[in-house]
Amino acid sequence: MAFKVLNPGLLTTVQDLGRPGYFHLGIPMSGAMDRYALRAANLLVGNPEGAAALEAVFMGPQLEFEVDATVAVTGADLPARVDGEPHPAWTAFPVRAGQVLSFDYLRGGARAYIAISGGIDTPPALGSRSTYIIGALGGYHGRALASGDMVPLGSPRAVQHGMEVPAALRRTVERSAELRVLPGLYWRLITEEAGRNFFEDEWKVAPEADRMGYRFRGGRPFTFNPREQPFGAGSNPSNIVDACYPYGSIQVPGGTEPIVLHRDAVSGGGYFTLGAVVSADMDLISQMQPHTAVRFVKVDMEQALAARADEAQRLARLREALAA
């Protein structure tokens, strides 16, 4: 049971919910950048919500199926077609053996998730099928899909075609967004003025936005409090002696352009970090196109935990809506 890749699109990889637990070895979590969209797609086709699916960036692939399957596409607004016939997003639909799944042009967002009944059955690596391209780990031979690949599928279970995610539970991607930030250990290195500027300024997603991280431009440069640089930190005030980088942390190399570290980011380094984007907003980042306008909003720990609880409730509502 498999499908054949006729055209891989721009960048299509196998992703599940990732491989936590290896940061101390320098191996990032990887996994779907929009975890909610992946979960929704899997639930629609009767898979466990953490099953491996496809993450397609900006352009969809063209896939020929060898077996009958149920498919769902979530995340970015990337219209699906089966043998040229359109099918709605966030909805389960059938694809018969011999038919071709293809996609129209992107209308919004950045990453679409294509779940197939039975899940993608590539060999797990360190407990996950997620692709970490830089490390040639997981997925389909540790790389993005290419024309001619035969991608194996697992055994599906019966599912109801036409099942859909209610509109209220679908995340839409706007032309601007707010990202909540919890200041962290190294916030003390910047001046009060720099901190105010960071939250007051409008930033825009730079073209350098990928699975490792999202760079933002347009705000004022950072200024730093005077200090004697510690041994080994280098002369630039944005440098520190190496520290860990948690998921969502914001580093500012050279004190100019913040970078929010995402699923394939390194686990540590020598740039200071302002703090971290709250986990509830990390899926949103993954759907931002270059030049999307963003404002960062300061929150405290109580507000960050409340945001996480709200996201957990939304996921609970999704599970309830799609319960078989």
pLDDT of residue 157: 79
- In angstroms, the CA 176 to CA 153 distance is 38
- In angstroms, the CA 72 to CA 109 distance is 17
Grade residue 324 by pLDDT with cuts at 50, 70 and 90. Answer: low
Taking residue 269's Cβ as centre, other Cβ atoms within 10 Å add up to: 17
- In angstroms, the CA 234 to CA 241 distance is 8
Whether residue 22 sits in one domain with residue 51: yes
| Burial (CB count within 10 angstroms: exposed 0-12, middle 13-18, buried 19+), residue 64 | middle
97-143 pLDDT, tens digit per residue, is: 999 999 999 999 999 999 999 999 999 999 999 999 999 999 999 99
Whether residue 165 sits in one domain with residue 61: yes
Whether residue 132 sits in one domain with residue 274: no
Whether residue 20 sits in one domain with residue 158: yes
Is the confidence at residue 172, as pLDDT, over 90?
A: no
Is the confidence at residue 242, as pLDDT, over 90?
A: no
What is the Cα 167 distance to its own chain's centre? Answer: 21
Task: Look at residue 319 and tell me if it is in a domain.
Answer: no
Whether residue 187 sits in one domain with residue 158: no
Could you say which of 169, 187, 215 is where a domain stops?
169
Q: In what order do the strands lie in the sheet with 53-57?
A: 12-15, 53-57, 108-116, 69-77, 93-95
**Count of structural domains within the chain:** 2
- In angstroms, the CA 31 to CA 50 distance is 10
194 within 8 A of 252, measured Cβ to Cβ? no
* pTM (predicted TM-score): 0.95
Task: Look at residue 317 and tell me if it is in a domain.
Answer: no
Whether residue 120 sits in one domain with residue 194: no
Whether residue 149 sits in one domain with residue 23: yes
Whether residue 305 sits in one domain with residue 157: no
Amino acid in position 141: H
Could you say which of 154, 169, 184 is where a domain stops?
169
- In angstroms, the CA 59 to CA 44 distance is 22
pLDDT of residue 73: 98
| Domain limits for position 94 | 2-169
Helix axes 301-321, 35-44, angle to 10 degrees: 10
Task: Look at residue 75 and tell me if it is in a domain.
Answer: yes
